[in-house]
Amino acid sequence: MLNIDARKTHGEAIRFPGAIAANVAAIFGRHLPAVPSRKIAAHSMIWREGEERRDVFVVRSGAVCFSKLLSDGRRVVTGFAYPGDIIGLGADRHTHDAEALHCCRLDAMPIAIFRRAAESDHEFARMAQDEVSAALLAAYDHLAVLSKMTAHERLAHFLVALSDRNRRLGHSPASVLLPMRRIDIADYLGLTIETVSRTFTHFKNGGLIVMDDPSVVFLADLQRLTALASCAGDCEPGRKLAA
């Protein structure tokens, strides 16, 4: 069984608004004030859409979910942030809600310090700008997922993306942790929780994954999952659901 605490050591998983790659955090560290980390209770909001942007944060532990609420109550999850990520970059006001999926530790850099740093440290400024471009690129990739992929492909894509991040960070790509609830995955992939759950079951029955705990997934057949994720046909994730 995997150590559940491992989820706290994971780096960036999925691109998300205003978050930047872990390797970039070091440059930010140069300007981080020496104040204790802020602690955020599980399921509390870190900020809400429309609020004034007050800090740029570095995620130290926990996980963050970014979402928007549509006028009719529908919810869109635009991404997740993991330890090592920097969140809160962007325009004057927050464009998303940010919710702590678990108890989070965040290092805060007041926006005034951030702006001063951007003026004095050109590497810092350029990096912040590059990260917005990267987020834009990631958003367009996600558009492709939402507009062209089936439920199976979407979930496979999600799992493989998490696995790829693990590999990049030197962790095992064979298993991924899901600190978010099914509803967050569903709203991220443009599906319903039922479809997400059924697709997990389908993958399980097809031998693609092993999952005893809903938040820990072992990717038993990464190759087939990858094929699904990249739309390379082969959309046959196993036998039918067992009765």
Partner DNA sequence: CGGCCGCTTGACTATTATCAAAGATGGTGG
Partner DNA sequence: CCACCATCTTTGATAATAGTCAAGCGGCCG
To the nearest 10°, the Cα dihedral for 220, 222, 227, 231?
Answer: 90
Candidates 85-93, 135-143, 179-187, 224-232 — which segment interacts with DNA by CB under 7 A? 179-187
Asked if residue 193 binds DNA (CB under 7 A), the reply is yes
Whole-angstrom Cα distance, residue 92 to residue 51?
9
Residue pair 179/217 in contact by the 8 Å Cβ criterion: no
Token duo for residue 229: 């994720």
Which three-class secondary structure state does DSSP give residue 208? coil
Q: Which residues bind a second copy (CB under 8 A)?
A: 17, 68, 70-72, 74, 76, 78, 90-91, 95-96, 129-130, 132-133, 135-137, 139-140, 142-144, 146-148, 187, 189-190, 230-233
Return the one option of a second copy, DNA, none that residue 26 interacts with (CB less than 5 to 8 A, by type). Answer: none
Q: Which residue has the tokens 């509390």?
A: 44
Residues 62 to 121: which contact DNA by CB under 7 A? none
DSSP codes, 62-108: S-EEEEEE-TTS-EEEEEEE-TT-EE--SSSB-SSEEEESS-EEEEE
Asked if residue 159 binds DNA (CB under 7 A), the reply is no
Residue pair 179/100 in contact by the 8 Å Cβ criterion: no
- Cβ distance to a second copy smaller for residue 45 or 232: 232
| Residue count, binding to DNA (CB under 7 A) | 23
Shortest CB 206 distance to a second copy, Å: 20
Candidates 107-115, 124-132, 149-157, 164-172 — which segment interacts with DNA by CB under 7 A? 149-157
Shortest CB 70 distance to a second copy, Å: 6
Return the one option of DNA, a second copy, none that residue 17 interacts with (CB less than 5 to 8 A, by type). Answer: a second copy
**Per-residue exposure over 66-96, b if at least 16 CB sit within 10 Å of its own CB, e if not:** bbeeeeeeeeebbbbbbbbbbbbbbeeebeb
Shortest CB 213 distance to a second copy, Å: 27
Chain positions contacting DNA, by CB under 7 A? 150-152, 181-183, 190-198, 200-201, 211, 213-215, 241, 243
